[in-house]
A and B are shown apart, each in its own frame.
Chain A
Amino acid sequence: MFSLFGVPAPLLFGQLLLGLINGGFYAMLSLGLAVIFGMLNIINFAHGAVFMMGAFVAWMLLNYLGINYWFALLLAPLIVGAFGFVLEKTIISRLYKLDHLYGLLLTFGLALVLEGLFRNGYGSSGMPYQIPAVLSGAVNLGFMFLPIYRGWVIVAALVVCIATWMLIEKTKLGSLLRAATENPALVQAFGVNVPRLVTLTFAGGVALAAFAGVLAAPIYSVNPNMGSNFINTVFAVVVIGGMGSIFGAIVSGFGLGVIEGLTKVFYPQASDTVIFVVMVLVLLTRPAGLFGKAT
């Protein structure tokens, strides 16, 4: 087998694939953030916390009610999405007229409160959550053993990303959403209930994060800090893709996952900073992000 820059090719292919899998998580999380920012203009710092809630709800469903992974994949986003619905109605909707900073501070505070509550209830070292039996095991790809579950993560992430993109870009509902973002007063004049549309968008973004949380539960430790580990990276991804750009969030999510994966081979110490280096380079050359529209 040949080697590239002193790294054997099989190892390199393996790392590329792993990068793609992590990119799937980045894409799903940044998608929710981009949708919420695009429609509501809220920088949702609580996104990591709702990702964590998704994983915890899956754990609770299994341990308290005996509901398995597949139903959790459906139920947890609904439950956490409903939580997001209430959150938007009661608290977040009050901030739309104010500066971005207020939304950022509020959601950051919310994230701390949510993490604290779960830490008090469930400790800090996390909860075990097994990979469902159907998806356990691995397949030999020749250059690496790919756990079936990780393959499933890529597929699920791609499907969710494409479905969300289609929903917003190609359907009537999506066009209403986009119109309401551009000019809420006009859309309301046509008889559309814009506030409800906004609430549902927020709930939808939150549900996306919760879905990613359930997907992550069997891989990462289900603990109260799991969201805050991701959130900084995901924000960088959104900025690189262009704030509010759905397509940008998806592409840069997967792309940066791969870049991070390769860094882990060539210079592991930098693997958590490389994304921010890319962010700096992108902002220097394209201040609105790769796919963002300059305003």
Chain B
Amino acid sequence: MTLTRRGLLGTAAATSLLPLARARAADAPIKIGVLGDMSGMYRDLSGPVSVACAKQAVADFGAAGKGIPVEILVGDHQNKPDIGAGVAGQWFDRDGVDLVVDVPNSSVALAVSNVGHLKNKVVIACGPGTADLTGPQCTPNTIHWSFDTWMLAHSTGGAMVKAGGDTWFFITADYAFGHAMQRDTANFVKEAGGKVLGNVDTPFPGTTDFSSFLLQAQSTGAKVIGLANAGSDTVNCIKQAAEFGVNKSARLAGLLVFISDVHALGLQNAQGLVLTETFYWDLNERTRAFTQRVLPNTGGARPGMGQAGVYGGVLQYLKAVEKIGVAAAKASGAATVAQMKAMPTDDDAFGPGSIRADGRALHPAYLFEVKSPAESKAPWDYYKLLATTPADEAFRPLKDGHCPLIPA
């Protein structure tokens, strides 16, 4: 037998892997990777609070008492699809991760969802908006929790027209999410008998001064100014609308607003804003109880709907794991997801609900108005409830999604 360098290296590599593989088979903990934005503009609606919510789900499930070892890993996708897909791939291949959760930013979520499908693992998307995750891009391994563009447009757009806001002007972030958000909302506005007077596409990212766009919107006389943007763009729009008194002559509709945005704005600027979330910490007994439990680990920040979705998603995942067993769950992500869909959901953040065949988690959507400083009695007392859309009406009907999993 001749020894070659390549052969030696190969043997060395193989033997070094042996103990690792054996150890993995022995303990085989369930590994959950929280993949979020830990350092960028979406950190406050994902980030450390999402991690705290994942840990809370593990604790509330009582994984240790049930003999299911669970480990949580944390990753930062930096809002870049290639980095997100890379981290997920490494987690699945090398670290034995079974579930990737959170994944804000639509383009990153679509990439990670693909990786999860390829490796037959589980992806629960709670932070991204694109309804394509349960539409043309749906997979048997992906579940979409918390919200999507269709639901937001339907709830906020429809409700505003009903309340008399029948003429609209859109301030739209000039990229895929902004255009999708505007298109979906405009459809509902027209359907409800409203009219779209115009729109302005603002460069994304990099626009900081929205006052000239707001004045253009005001000059059309539209009753509602729809903000088809997110994060600091929305914050700047609302702040500057208050400054120029634009919020006096027209109502502002934030199409994607999280409680962290309202917190950043302050009630003085945000008051009167109408928005949709599927979770609010002060909604009922159960949401308050959940918030009290998780609060010591969030640095005082109340979770928004994306972060609460991490809690609900992980909890449902662990219930499914308990049902089919750890070994089976680790073996097939698709089988775990099928089990998650087969059972009803019920958690303190979203209440009772279900997961549809296309991977859409169904729960009620709430239309809120931001309180005035006088109405707010306590820290983070920000919303008053205007309307509730029941779970079966809140999301896009199954047949309209064109998900390949659903026979036409």
Contacts and interface: CB of A to CB of B under 8 A. Distances in A.
A225 B269 CA distance: 20
Q: Quick one: which of A22, A128, A269 has the most chain B CB within 10 A? A: A128
The 5 closest A-B pairs by CB, nearest first: A128-B266, A272-B203, A124-B43, A125-B264, A125-B44
A269 B245 contact: no
Given A128-B268, A219-B239, A271 B208 contact: no
A269 B174 contact: yes
Interface in A57-102: none
Contacts of A270: 203
A244 interface: no
Contacts of B200: 268
Contact of A225 (B41, B209, B215, B243): B41
Nearest to B258: A125
Given A225-B232, A229-B206, A124 B215 contact: no
A165 interface: no
A11 B264 contact: no
Nearest to A226: B208
A125 B240 contact: no
Contacts of A116: 39
B202 A268 contact: yes
A18 B266 CA distance: 24
Interface string B37-58: 1011111110100000000000
A226 B232 CA distance: 9
B137 interface: no
Interface residues of B, number: 43
B269 A15 contact: no
Interface of B: 37, 39-45, 47, 174, 200-203, 205-209, 211-213, 215-216, 219, 231-232, 235-236, 239-240, 243-245, 260-261, 263-266, 268-269, 301
A126 B235 contact: yes
Interface stretch (A141-149, A167-175, A196-204): A141-149
Interface string A214-234: 000001110101100110100
Q: How large is the interface on A (under 10, 10 to 19, 20 to 34, 35 or more residues)?
A: 35 or more
A273 B244 contact: no
Contact of A223 (B45, B202, B232, B269): B232
A265 B212 contact: yes
Contacts of B239: 219-221
Nearest to A229: B208
A130 interface: yes
Given A18-B215, A125-B231, A220 B201 contact: no
A264 interface: yes
A269 to B, nearest CB: 5
Nearest to A232: B206
A226 B213 CA distance: 19
Contacts of A125: 41, 43-45, 231-232, 235, 260-261, 263-264
Given A125-B235, A221-B232, A221-B265, 4 more contacts: A124-B42, A124-B231, A220-B208, A273-B203
A123 interface: yes
Given A116-B39, A130-B268, A221 B216 contact: no
B44 A11 contact: no
A58 to B, nearest CB: 15
A119 B215 CA distance: 32
A184 interface: no
Contacts of B37: 124
Contact of B243 (A22, A123, A149): A149
B259 to A, nearest CB: 10
B329 to A, nearest CB: 34
6 contacts: A15-B215, A18-B211, A125-B231, A125-B261, A128-B265, A270-B203
A125 B43 CA distance: 8
A123 B44 contact: yes
A88 B264 CA distance: 33
A151 to B, nearest CB: 12
B268 A123 contact: no
B381 to A, nearest CB: 15
B39 A15 contact: no
Given A11-B215, A123-B44, A125-B261, A145 B268 contact: no
Contact of B43 (A19, A123, A145): A123
Nearest to A264: B212
A14 interface: yes
A109 interface: no
A127 B263 CA distance: 8
Nearest to A272: B203
Contacts of B240: 219
B244 A119 contact: no
Contacts of B205: 229
Contacts of B45: 125
A128 B212 contact: no
Given A264-B213, A265-B212, A124 B44 contact: yes
Contacts of B201: 268-269
Contacts of B231: 124-125
A131 B209 CA distance: 16
- Looking at B211, B231, B263, the one whose CB has the most chain A CB atoms below 10 A away is B211
A126 B231 CA distance: 10
A123 B260 contact: yes
A62 to B, nearest CB: 12
Given A119-B39, A126-B232, A128-B269, A138 B212 contact: no
A18 B212 CA distance: 7
A132 interface: no
A28 to B, nearest CB: 15
A219 B201 CA distance: 21
Nearest to B41: A124
